[in-house]
Amino acid sequence: MVLLKSDWLSLFMCLCQILSLIGKNHVSSAITKVCPRGCKTCSTFNGCITCRPRLFLLLHRSDMKHIGICTHACPIGFYGQRGVDMSRCYRCRVDNCEECFSRNFCTRCKSPYFLCNGECVESCPDGTYPDEKTGECRRTVDCEVATWSGWGMCLKMAKTCGFKWGLETRTREVLIQPTFNGRYCPTITESRQCRMKPRHCPDHINSSEPKPAVEENAIETKKTNKRPQETRKKKNNSIVRRRRRRKKERRRWRRRNRKSEKKRERIQKQTLTA
């Protein structure tokens, strides 16, 4: 059986296709074994060269070569920067920085240091104080209050009459609360002694005063029991009696003084005539 040239050519083409398929399978298996998880392309010496979408490429030095790793987030001391073709993790260039937003702007410092305007400092500058919770230098704020209001009504026991002296108060509001080491707020309320103009309350004011809220049983007992009113009347009567007695005693004392003066005048006249 003799093969023609065309047959030889077809056999050669079939062998080439078979070999190409076998080579692709070997290459793909080798790539899957060498490339770590998340890598799009890699090499045996430098690890990941490009990463899959939404992953960051992190390069770290090992002896004399750089090895690439694909991660979902950049580690401490690095910040992520996304690009059109590839996203990479870059090292923060701020000293003692734990997390940063860009190359020269830190967002979180290590434990003994405090964050101040994107930098890590040991002690906060003037006008700021260290916040242990956030690890930042906060601006000190002093307390600010508004102006005083006008003096209120002269009161005593929530009444505007019935007493000689009372108290009047005035207040002012706090506009800005102070920080930890800021200047504290001054007094917000002031009171002074005042004299009540209507010392004795009229009858219609006493009748219109609001009664305190009590239970129903207590109200019923008050209606039946009228002793408090009687005691008030007795006290008022006793006060009136005392005043009358004092007036009578003053009149008697004046009469006695007049009589004694008249006697002295008579005795002086008799001595002069004698």
Say how far apart CA 79 and CA 103 lie, in whole Å.
8
Q: Which residue has the tokens 């860009």?
A: 102
Best CA proximity match to 100, nearest among 78, 133, 72: 78
Say how far apart CA 66 and CA 49 lie, in whole Å.
10
pLDDT at res. 133:
87
| pLDDT band at 273; cut points 50, 70, 90 | confident
Say how far apart CA 222 and CA 189 lie, in whole Å.
38
Question: What structural domains does the chain harbor?
Answer: 34-91 (2.10.220.10), 142-210 (2.20.100.10)
Helix (H) or strand (E) holding 220: helix 216-224
Q: Which tens digits make up the pLDDT trace of 41-71?
A: 888 888 888 898 889 998 888 777 788 889 9
Question: Which contacts qualify for 59-67: CB closer than 8 Å, 24 or more apart?
Answer: 59/88, 59/89
Stronger pLDDT, 226 or 155, i.e. the higher one: 155
Phi-psi domain of 210 (left: phi exceeds 0; alpha: psi -120 through 50; beta: other) = beta
| pLDDT band at 270; cut points 50, 70, 90 | confident
Beta-bridge mates of residue 79: 90
pLDDT at res. 198:
77
Find which of 159-163, 187-191, 235-239 is predicted with most confidence, using mean pLDDT. 187-191
pLDDT at res. 187:
92
Q: Which tens digits make up the pLDDT trace of 210-250?
A: 554 444 555 554 555 555 566 666 667 788 888 888 888 88
Stronger pLDDT, 24 or 194, i.e. the higher one: 194
| pLDDT band at 8; cut points 50, 70, 90 | low
Say how far apart CA 162 and CA 209 lie, in whole Å.
12
The residues, any chain, with a CB within 8 Å of residue 40's CB and separated by 6 or more, are 48, 49, 50, 51, 52
Best CA proximity match to 127, nearest among 119, 135, 137: 137
- pTM here is 0.43
Tokens of 223: 């209606």
Report the range of poorest mean pLDDT among 113-117, 171-175, 254-258, 267-271. Answer: 267-271
Tokens of 90: 């870059």
Say how far apart CA 127 and CA 191 lie, in whole Å.
35
Q: What is the DSSP letter of 201?
A: P
Residue 114 CA from chain centroid, whole number: 22
Say how far apart CA 43 and CA 66 lie, in whole Å.
11
The residues, any chain, with a CB within 8 Å of residue 197's CB and separated by 6 or more, are 154
Beta-bridge mates of residue 129: 138
Say how far apart CA 145 and CA 164 lie, in whole Å.
34
pLDDT at res. 179:
85
**How many CB atoms lie under 10 A from the CB of residue 120?**
19
